[in-house]
Structure 1
Amino acid sequence: MTIYCLYVFDRHCNCVYYHDWHRTNRPKRAVEGGGLLSGVSHALSPLQPSAPAQGSSAPSTPFTSPRNTLTSTSGVLVALSHSHQSQGTVVPQSAPPAAAGGGGGTGLPFDEEAKLVYGVILSLRNMIKRLSGRDESFVSYRTSTYKLHLFETVSGYRFVMLSDPNAESLRFVMRSIYTGPFLEYAVRNPLVPMDSRERGVDNEYFRASVDRLVRGLSVFQ
Protein backbone atom coordinates (compact mmCIF):
# COMPACT_ATOMS: atom_id res chain seq x y z
CA MET A 1 0.00 0.00 0.00
CA THR A 2 1.11 3.54 -0.64
CA ILE A 3 -0.01 7.16 -0.61
CA TYR A 4 0.00 9.18 -3.82
CA CYS A 5 -0.76 12.79 -2.90
CA LEU A 6 -2.64 15.32 -0.78
CA TYR A 7 -4.80 18.29 -1.76
CA VAL A 8 -6.24 20.91 0.60
CA PHE A 9 -9.17 23.04 -0.58
CA ASP A 10 -10.68 26.04 1.22
CA ARG A 11 -14.34 27.02 1.49
CA HIS A 12 -14.01 29.11 -1.68
CA CYS A 13 -13.29 25.94 -3.68
CA ASN A 14 -9.64 26.97 -4.17
CA CYS A 15 -6.74 24.57 -3.84
CA VAL A 16 -4.53 26.09 -1.12
CA TYR A 17 -1.97 23.31 -0.72
CA TYR A 18 -0.63 20.30 -2.65
CA HIS A 19 1.93 17.64 -1.76
CA ASP A 20 2.81 14.41 -3.53
CA TRP A 21 4.98 11.39 -2.74
CA HIS A 22 4.59 8.45 -5.12
CA ARG A 23 3.65 10.12 -8.38
CA THR A 24 5.98 9.00 -11.14
CA ASN A 25 4.25 11.36 -13.60
CA ARG A 26 3.75 14.78 -12.08
CA PRO A 27 1.37 17.40 -13.48
CA LYS A 28 2.55 20.33 -15.52
CA ARG A 29 3.04 23.71 -13.96
CA ALA A 30 -0.13 25.73 -13.68
CA VAL A 31 -1.00 28.04 -16.55
CA GLU A 32 -0.50 31.75 -15.97
CA GLY A 33 -3.93 33.24 -15.31
CA GLY A 34 -5.47 29.80 -14.80
CA GLY A 35 -6.78 30.67 -11.36
CA LEU A 36 -4.21 28.85 -9.20
CA LEU A 37 -3.39 30.80 -6.06
CA SER A 38 0.20 31.61 -5.22
CA GLY A 39 1.63 29.72 -2.27
CA VAL A 40 0.03 26.36 -3.13
CA SER A 41 3.13 24.54 -4.30
CA HIS A 42 6.19 26.47 -5.42
CA ALA A 43 7.18 23.76 -7.88
CA LEU A 44 3.78 23.82 -9.61
CA SER A 45 3.08 27.55 -9.69
CA PRO A 46 3.27 29.36 -13.04
CA LEU A 47 6.76 30.34 -14.07
CA GLN A 48 7.53 33.97 -13.41
CA PRO A 49 8.27 36.05 -16.53
CA SER A 50 11.46 37.46 -15.01
CA ALA A 51 14.43 35.11 -14.81
CA PRO A 52 16.02 34.53 -11.39
CA ALA A 53 19.20 36.36 -10.52
CA GLN A 54 22.44 34.82 -11.70
CA GLY A 55 23.73 32.20 -9.29
CA SER A 56 20.35 31.49 -7.67
CA SER A 57 18.80 28.07 -8.26
CA ALA A 58 15.17 29.13 -7.70
CA PRO A 59 13.15 32.19 -6.74
CA SER A 60 12.83 32.71 -3.01
CA THR A 61 9.52 32.46 -1.17
CA PRO A 62 8.16 34.86 1.46
CA PHE A 63 8.61 32.12 4.06
CA THR A 64 12.33 31.49 3.57
CA SER A 65 14.32 31.73 6.77
CA PRO A 66 17.88 30.94 7.93
CA ARG A 67 16.47 27.86 9.70
CA ASN A 68 15.07 26.42 6.49
CA THR A 69 16.40 22.88 6.11
CA LEU A 70 14.62 21.88 2.92
CA THR A 71 16.89 20.97 0.05
CA SER A 72 16.39 19.48 -3.38
CA THR A 73 17.68 16.16 -2.04
CA SER A 74 15.57 15.98 1.10
CA GLY A 75 12.63 14.35 -0.63
CA VAL A 76 10.30 17.13 0.46
CA LEU A 77 10.06 19.16 -2.73
CA VAL A 78 7.54 17.98 -5.29
CA ALA A 79 7.05 18.01 -9.05
CA LEU A 80 10.71 17.50 -9.89
CA SER A 81 11.83 16.37 -13.30
CA HIS A 82 11.97 12.70 -14.24
CA SER A 83 15.67 12.60 -13.44
CA HIS A 84 14.85 13.42 -9.79
CA GLN A 85 12.11 10.86 -9.29
CA SER A 86 12.44 8.36 -6.53
CA GLN A 87 13.63 5.02 -7.79
CA GLY A 88 11.53 1.97 -7.19
CA THR A 89 8.15 3.75 -7.08
CA VAL A 90 5.62 2.34 -9.46
CA VAL A 91 2.15 3.65 -10.23
CA PRO A 92 -0.26 1.00 -11.52
CA GLN A 93 -1.42 1.08 -15.08
CA SER A 94 -4.60 3.09 -15.59
CA ALA A 95 -3.56 5.10 -12.57
CA PRO A 96 -5.87 7.79 -11.14
CA PRO A 97 -5.80 11.32 -12.56
CA ALA A 98 -3.78 12.47 -9.57
CA ALA A 99 -1.41 9.50 -9.77
CA ALA A 100 -0.88 9.46 -13.52
CA GLY A 101 -0.60 13.20 -13.92
CA GLY A 102 1.26 14.87 -16.75
CA GLY A 103 4.96 14.41 -16.44
CA GLY A 104 7.22 14.93 -19.41
CA GLY A 105 4.87 17.26 -21.27
CA THR A 106 1.75 15.12 -21.04
CA GLY A 107 -1.38 15.41 -18.96
CA LEU A 108 -3.15 18.46 -17.54
CA PRO A 109 -1.70 21.59 -15.98
CA PHE A 110 -2.02 21.47 -12.22
CA ASP A 111 -4.69 24.18 -11.99
CA GLU A 112 -7.00 22.15 -14.25
CA GLU A 113 -6.23 18.93 -12.38
CA ALA A 114 -7.11 20.53 -9.04
CA LYS A 115 -10.44 21.76 -10.44
CA LEU A 116 -11.27 18.25 -11.68
CA VAL A 117 -10.46 16.68 -8.30
CA TYR A 118 -12.62 19.21 -6.48
CA GLY A 119 -15.42 18.77 -9.01
CA VAL A 120 -15.47 15.02 -8.38
CA ILE A 121 -15.75 15.29 -4.59
CA LEU A 122 -18.34 18.08 -4.80
CA SER A 123 -20.52 16.12 -7.23
CA LEU A 124 -20.36 12.90 -5.21
CA ARG A 125 -20.95 14.76 -1.95
CA ASN A 126 -24.06 16.47 -3.32
CA MET A 127 -25.36 13.25 -4.87
CA ILE A 128 -25.05 11.35 -1.57
CA LYS A 129 -26.85 14.08 0.35
CA ARG A 130 -29.70 14.11 -2.18
CA LEU A 131 -30.10 10.33 -2.34
CA SER A 132 -29.37 9.35 1.26
CA GLY A 133 -30.30 12.39 3.29
CA ARG A 134 -28.26 14.63 5.55
CA ASP A 135 -27.32 11.82 7.93
CA GLU A 136 -25.05 10.27 5.31
CA SER A 137 -21.70 11.77 4.38
CA PHE A 138 -19.19 11.14 1.63
CA VAL A 139 -15.83 9.99 3.02
CA SER A 140 -14.18 7.93 0.26
CA TYR A 141 -14.56 6.04 -2.98
CA ARG A 142 -12.50 3.28 -4.54
CA THR A 143 -11.61 2.27 -8.10
CA SER A 144 -9.41 -0.52 -9.39
CA THR A 145 -6.32 1.72 -9.31
CA TYR A 146 -6.76 4.21 -6.47
CA LYS A 147 -8.83 5.26 -3.46
CA LEU A 148 -9.87 8.81 -2.67
CA HIS A 149 -10.26 9.85 0.98
CA LEU A 150 -12.06 13.00 2.11
CA PHE A 151 -11.90 14.83 5.43
CA GLU A 152 -13.91 18.03 5.94
CA THR A 153 -13.43 20.51 8.76
CA VAL A 154 -16.08 22.65 10.44
CA SER A 155 -14.41 25.76 9.00
CA GLY A 156 -14.93 24.49 5.45
CA TYR A 157 -11.49 23.13 4.57
CA ARG A 158 -11.45 19.86 2.63
CA PHE A 159 -8.46 17.52 2.81
CA VAL A 160 -8.31 15.05 -0.09
CA MET A 161 -5.81 12.19 -0.12
CA LEU A 162 -5.29 9.63 -2.88
CA SER A 163 -3.83 6.25 -2.02
CA ASP A 164 -3.48 2.68 -3.14
CA PRO A 165 -6.95 1.07 -3.58
CA ASN A 166 -6.19 -1.48 -0.84
CA ALA A 167 -5.44 1.17 1.80
CA GLU A 168 -7.70 1.45 4.83
CA SER A 169 -9.38 4.75 5.68
CA LEU A 170 -6.88 7.62 5.89
CA ARG A 171 -9.24 10.09 7.52
CA PHE A 172 -7.23 9.81 10.75
CA VAL A 173 -4.12 10.88 8.83
CA MET A 174 -5.80 13.97 7.40
CA ARG A 175 -7.28 14.75 10.81
CA SER A 176 -3.75 14.54 12.28
CA ILE A 177 -2.47 16.90 9.58
CA TYR A 178 -5.29 19.33 10.36
CA THR A 179 -4.94 19.27 14.15
CA GLY A 180 -1.14 19.26 13.98
CA PRO A 181 0.84 20.95 11.16
CA PHE A 182 -2.13 22.84 9.67
CA LEU A 183 -3.13 24.55 12.92
CA GLU A 184 0.46 25.13 13.97
CA TYR A 185 2.03 26.42 10.74
CA ALA A 186 -0.95 27.71 8.73
CA VAL A 187 -3.72 28.89 11.05
CA ARG A 188 -1.36 30.32 13.69
CA ASN A 189 1.14 31.65 11.17
CA PRO A 190 0.78 35.46 10.91
CA LEU A 191 2.30 35.37 7.41
CA VAL A 192 -0.53 33.19 6.06
CA PRO A 193 -3.74 35.17 5.32
CA MET A 194 -6.35 32.55 6.21
CA ASP A 195 -9.69 32.52 4.38
CA SER A 196 -8.40 34.76 1.61
CA ARG A 197 -8.64 34.36 -2.14
CA GLU A 198 -5.11 35.64 -2.70
CA ARG A 199 -2.69 32.86 -1.75
CA GLY A 200 -2.34 29.33 -0.44
CA VAL A 201 -0.92 28.11 2.87
CA ASP A 202 2.35 26.52 1.74
CA ASN A 203 5.48 27.31 3.74
CA GLU A 204 8.68 25.47 4.58
CA TYR A 205 7.71 24.36 8.09
CA PHE A 206 4.23 23.20 7.15
CA ARG A 207 5.50 21.19 4.16
CA ALA A 208 8.31 19.59 6.15
CA SER A 209 5.97 18.69 9.03
CA VAL A 210 3.38 17.14 6.70
CA ASP A 211 6.12 15.19 4.95
CA ARG A 212 7.49 13.78 8.21
CA LEU A 213 4.01 12.81 9.42
CA VAL A 214 3.07 10.97 6.22
CA ARG A 215 6.44 9.26 5.77
CA GLY A 216 6.20 7.91 9.30
CA LEU A 217 2.97 6.01 8.57
CA SER A 218 2.95 2.24 8.26
CA VAL A 219 0.99 2.51 4.98
CA PHE A 220 3.63 4.75 3.41
CA GLN A 221 6.11 3.01 1.13
Structure 2
Amino acid sequence: MTIYSLYIYDRHCTCVYYHDWHRAKPPRIANEGGVLPAVAPQVYPQKDIAATDPSRRNTLSSSSGVVIAVNDEVPRTPLPGATQRVPANAGLPFDEEAKLVYGVVLSLRNMVKKLSGRDETFVNYRTSTYKLHLYETLSGYKFIMLSDPNADSLRFVMRQIYAGPFLEYVVRNPLTQMDSKEHGIDSEYFRTSTDRMIRGLSVFN
Protein backbone atom coordinates (compact mmCIF):
# COMPACT_ATOMS: atom_id res chain seq x y z
CA MET A 1 0.00 0.00 0.00
CA THR A 2 1.17 3.51 -0.70
CA ILE A 3 0.16 7.16 -0.98
CA TYR A 4 0.17 8.83 -4.40
CA SER A 5 -0.62 12.51 -4.00
CA LEU A 6 -2.17 15.28 -1.90
CA TYR A 7 -4.31 18.22 -3.11
CA ILE A 8 -5.48 21.14 -0.95
CA TYR A 9 -8.30 23.43 -2.14
CA ASP A 10 -9.40 26.66 -0.51
CA ARG A 11 -12.94 27.97 -0.06
CA HIS A 12 -12.81 29.50 -3.55
CA CYS A 13 -12.47 26.00 -5.10
CA THR A 14 -8.88 26.80 -6.09
CA CYS A 15 -6.03 24.32 -5.75
CA VAL A 16 -3.53 26.03 -3.43
CA TYR A 17 -1.18 23.10 -2.76
CA TYR A 18 -0.07 19.87 -4.45
CA HIS A 19 2.43 17.18 -3.50
CA ASP A 20 3.04 13.75 -5.02
CA TRP A 21 5.12 10.76 -3.94
CA HIS A 22 4.54 7.42 -5.70
CA ARG A 23 2.95 8.73 -8.85
CA ALA A 24 3.74 6.44 -11.80
CA LYS A 25 3.54 9.25 -14.36
CA PRO A 26 4.66 12.77 -13.35
CA PRO A 27 2.05 15.54 -13.68
CA ARG A 28 2.10 17.60 -16.84
CA ILE A 29 3.01 21.28 -16.51
CA ALA A 30 -0.07 23.48 -16.22
CA ASN A 31 -1.14 25.92 -18.91
CA GLU A 32 0.03 29.52 -18.61
CA GLY A 33 -2.15 31.21 -16.01
CA GLY A 34 -3.97 27.97 -15.18
CA VAL A 35 -2.45 27.39 -11.77
CA LEU A 36 -1.36 29.65 -8.92
CA PRO A 37 2.34 30.16 -8.22
CA ALA A 38 3.80 28.08 -5.36
CA VAL A 39 1.19 25.29 -5.66
CA ALA A 40 4.00 22.92 -6.67
CA PRO A 41 7.28 23.67 -8.45
CA GLN A 42 6.94 20.74 -10.87
CA VAL A 43 3.58 21.87 -12.28
CA TYR A 44 4.04 25.64 -12.49
CA PRO A 45 4.99 26.78 -16.03
CA GLN A 46 8.56 28.10 -16.13
CA LYS A 47 9.07 31.02 -18.50
CA ASP A 48 12.06 31.09 -20.78
CA ILE A 49 14.55 33.54 -19.28
CA ALA A 50 15.95 34.43 -22.68
CA ALA A 51 12.49 35.23 -24.01
CA THR A 52 11.58 37.49 -21.09
CA ASP A 53 14.97 39.17 -20.66
CA PRO A 54 16.49 40.39 -23.97
CA SER A 55 19.79 41.14 -22.25
CA ARG A 56 20.27 37.39 -21.68
CA ARG A 57 20.22 36.73 -25.44
CA ASN A 58 23.75 37.96 -26.09
CA THR A 59 25.28 35.81 -28.83
CA LEU A 60 28.84 37.10 -28.43
CA SER A 61 31.21 36.48 -25.59
CA SER A 62 32.32 39.86 -24.26
CA SER A 63 35.86 38.65 -23.54
CA SER A 64 36.74 36.61 -26.61
CA GLY A 65 34.34 37.75 -29.33
CA VAL A 66 33.62 34.13 -30.24
CA VAL A 67 30.18 33.52 -31.74
CA ILE A 68 28.12 31.32 -29.43
CA ALA A 69 24.80 31.23 -31.29
CA VAL A 70 23.61 32.36 -34.69
CA ASN A 71 20.08 32.68 -36.10
CA ASP A 72 18.36 31.79 -32.85
CA GLU A 73 15.02 32.93 -34.26
CA VAL A 74 15.11 30.63 -37.30
CA PRO A 75 12.60 27.77 -36.85
CA ARG A 76 14.10 24.33 -36.95
CA THR A 77 12.71 21.99 -39.62
CA PRO A 78 12.71 18.29 -38.75
CA LEU A 79 14.71 15.95 -40.98
CA PRO A 80 12.80 13.91 -43.58
CA GLY A 81 11.43 10.74 -42.04
CA ALA A 82 11.93 12.00 -38.49
CA THR A 83 8.97 11.61 -36.17
CA GLN A 84 7.92 14.13 -33.55
CA ARG A 85 8.62 12.81 -30.07
CA VAL A 86 5.57 12.73 -27.80
CA PRO A 87 6.41 13.41 -24.16
CA ALA A 88 6.20 10.39 -21.90
CA ASN A 89 3.90 12.27 -19.53
CA ALA A 90 1.49 13.38 -22.26
CA GLY A 91 -1.94 13.81 -20.72
CA LEU A 92 -4.01 16.46 -19.05
CA PRO A 93 -2.22 19.62 -17.90
CA PHE A 94 -2.18 19.93 -14.11
CA ASP A 95 -4.74 22.75 -14.03
CA GLU A 96 -7.26 20.55 -15.87
CA GLU A 97 -6.41 17.61 -13.62
CA ALA A 98 -6.98 19.70 -10.49
CA LYS A 99 -10.37 20.85 -11.79
CA LEU A 100 -11.40 17.26 -12.50
CA VAL A 101 -10.38 16.08 -9.03
CA TYR A 102 -12.38 18.86 -7.38
CA GLY A 103 -15.33 18.30 -9.71
CA VAL A 104 -15.50 14.60 -8.83
CA VAL A 105 -15.41 15.34 -5.11
CA LEU A 106 -18.05 18.08 -5.37
CA SER A 107 -20.39 15.88 -7.44
CA LEU A 108 -20.08 12.85 -5.15
CA ARG A 109 -20.50 14.97 -2.02
CA ASN A 110 -23.68 16.55 -3.40
CA MET A 111 -25.01 13.14 -4.48
CA VAL A 112 -24.43 11.67 -1.00
CA LYS A 113 -26.24 14.60 0.65
CA LYS A 114 -29.23 14.31 -1.68
CA LEU A 115 -29.56 10.53 -1.45
CA SER A 116 -28.67 9.95 2.20
CA GLY A 117 -29.65 13.19 3.89
CA ARG A 118 -27.60 15.82 5.70
CA ASP A 119 -26.36 13.41 8.38
CA GLU A 120 -24.28 11.43 5.89
CA THR A 121 -20.94 12.81 4.66
CA PHE A 122 -18.75 11.76 1.77
CA VAL A 123 -15.32 10.67 3.02
CA ASN A 124 -13.81 8.40 0.34
CA TYR A 125 -14.41 6.25 -2.70
CA ARG A 126 -12.44 3.46 -4.33
CA THR A 127 -11.70 2.34 -7.88
CA SER A 128 -9.59 -0.55 -9.15
CA THR A 129 -6.44 1.62 -9.28
CA TYR A 130 -6.74 4.20 -6.48
CA LYS A 131 -8.72 5.36 -3.46
CA LEU A 132 -9.67 9.00 -2.91
CA HIS A 133 -9.90 10.36 0.65
CA LEU A 134 -11.54 13.66 1.62
CA TYR A 135 -11.15 15.77 4.75
CA GLU A 136 -12.95 19.14 4.89
CA THR A 137 -12.26 21.75 7.55
CA LEU A 138 -14.79 24.12 9.08
CA SER A 139 -13.06 27.01 7.33
CA GLY A 140 -13.76 25.47 3.91
CA TYR A 141 -10.38 23.93 3.07
CA LYS A 142 -10.54 20.54 1.42
CA PHE A 143 -7.70 18.05 1.80
CA ILE A 144 -7.84 15.34 -0.88
CA MET A 145 -5.46 12.40 -0.87
CA LEU A 146 -5.05 9.63 -3.45
CA SER A 147 -3.73 6.28 -2.27
CA ASP A 148 -3.55 2.60 -3.06
CA PRO A 149 -7.09 1.14 -3.35
CA ASN A 150 -6.42 -1.26 -0.45
CA ALA A 151 -5.43 1.50 1.99
CA ASP A 152 -7.55 2.20 5.05
CA SER A 153 -9.13 5.59 5.62
CA LEU A 154 -6.54 8.39 5.65
CA ARG A 155 -8.79 11.08 7.10
CA PHE A 156 -6.81 10.99 10.33
CA VAL A 157 -3.60 11.67 8.36
CA MET A 158 -5.09 14.71 6.63
CA ARG A 159 -6.48 15.91 9.95
CA GLN A 160 -2.97 15.64 11.44
CA ILE A 161 -1.60 17.66 8.52
CA TYR A 162 -4.25 20.31 9.12
CA ALA A 163 -3.86 20.41 12.92
CA GLY A 164 -0.06 20.32 12.72
CA PRO A 165 1.93 21.81 9.81
CA PHE A 166 -1.03 23.62 8.20
CA LEU A 167 -2.01 25.58 11.29
CA GLU A 168 1.60 26.12 12.33
CA TYR A 169 3.21 27.20 9.04
CA VAL A 170 0.24 28.50 7.02
CA VAL A 171 -2.58 29.82 9.24
CA ARG A 172 -0.37 31.26 11.97
CA ASN A 173 2.31 32.47 9.61
CA PRO A 174 1.82 36.21 8.93
CA LEU A 175 3.96 35.98 5.79
CA THR A 176 1.59 33.46 4.15
CA GLN A 177 -1.38 35.07 2.42
CA MET A 178 -4.62 33.27 3.24
CA ASP A 179 -7.50 33.16 0.75
CA SER A 180 -5.26 34.77 -1.82
CA LYS A 181 -6.24 34.42 -5.47
CA GLU A 182 -2.68 35.24 -6.50
CA HIS A 183 -0.52 32.65 -4.70
CA GLY A 184 -0.72 29.11 -3.47
CA ILE A 185 0.69 27.97 -0.13
CA ASP A 186 4.19 29.38 -0.43
CA SER A 187 5.78 27.81 2.65
CA GLU A 188 8.78 25.54 2.39
CA TYR A 189 8.40 24.62 6.07
CA PHE A 190 4.87 23.35 5.41
CA ARG A 191 5.99 21.35 2.36
CA THR A 192 8.94 19.82 4.21
CA SER A 193 6.90 18.97 7.33
CA THR A 194 4.11 17.42 5.27
CA ASP A 195 6.60 15.35 3.28
CA ARG A 196 8.30 14.13 6.47
CA MET A 197 4.95 13.24 8.05
CA ILE A 198 3.74 11.24 5.02
CA ARG A 199 7.04 9.39 4.58
CA GLY A 200 6.91 8.37 8.24
CA LEU A 201 3.60 6.53 7.85
CA SER A 202 3.53 2.74 7.71
CA VAL A 203 1.17 2.91 4.72
CA PHE A 204 3.65 5.02 2.71
CA ASN A 205 5.87 2.14 1.53
TM range (shorter): 0.7 to 0.9
What is residue 218 of structure 1 aligned with on the other side? 202
Corresponding position: 1:165 with 2:149: yes
**Aligned AA for 1:48?**
K
What is residue 146 of structure 1 aligned with on the other side? 130
What is residue 174 of structure 2 aligned with on the other side? 190
How many residues align structurally?
Answer: 172
Q: Structure 2: how far apart are the matches of 1:200 and 1:33?
A: 13
Structure 2: give runs of 5+ residues left out of the alignment. Answer: 54-86
Corresponding position: 1:131 with 2:130: no
What is residue 4 of structure 1 aligned with on the other side? 4
What is residue 47 of structure 1 aligned with on the other side? 46
Bigger mean CA deviation after superposition, 4-13 or 36-45? 36-45
Q: Structure 1: how far apart are the matches of 2:199 and 2:38?
A: 23
Q: Structure 1: how far apart are the matches of 2:3 and 2:99?
A: 20
What is residue 27 of structure 1 aligned with on the other side? 27
State the percentage of identical aligned residues.
70
Contact 2:30 2:95 in 1 (8 A): yes
Secondary structure of 1:182 counterpart: helix
Deviation at 1:104, TM superposition (A): 2.3
**Aligned AA for 2:120?**
E
Deviation at 1:188, TM superposition (A): 1.4
Deviation at 1:160, TM superposition (A): 0.2
Deviation at 1:24, TM superposition (A): 2.1
Q: Structure 2: how far apart are the matches of 1:8 and 1:21?
A: 15
1:152-183 Cα shifts (integer Å, max 9, x gaps): 00000000000000000000000000000111
1:165-219 Cα shifts (integer Å, max 9, x gaps): 0000000000000000111111112221101211111321111100000000010
Q: Structure 2: how far apart are the matches of 1:133 and 1:201?
A: 34
**Structure 1 vs Structure 2 CA RMSD:** 1.7
Output the TM-score relative to the length of structure 1: 0.74
**Aligned AA for 1:16?**
V
Larger radius of gyration between Structure 1 and Structure 2: 2
Q: Structure 1: how far apart are the matches of 2:24 and 2:151?
A: 19
Secondary structure of 1:197 counterpart: coil
The runs of at least 4 aligned residues of structure 1 exceeding 3 Å deviation read: none
Bigger mean CA deviation after superposition, 207-216 or 104-113? 104-113
Q: Structure 2: how far apart are the matches of 1:145 and 1:25?
A: 14
- CA distance change for structure 1 residues 180 and 107 in 2, over 3 Å: closer, same or farther? same
Secondary structure of 1:104 counterpart: coil
1:109-135 Cα shifts (integer Å, max 9, x gaps): 111100000000000001111111110
Contact 2:133 2:154 in 1 (8 A): yes
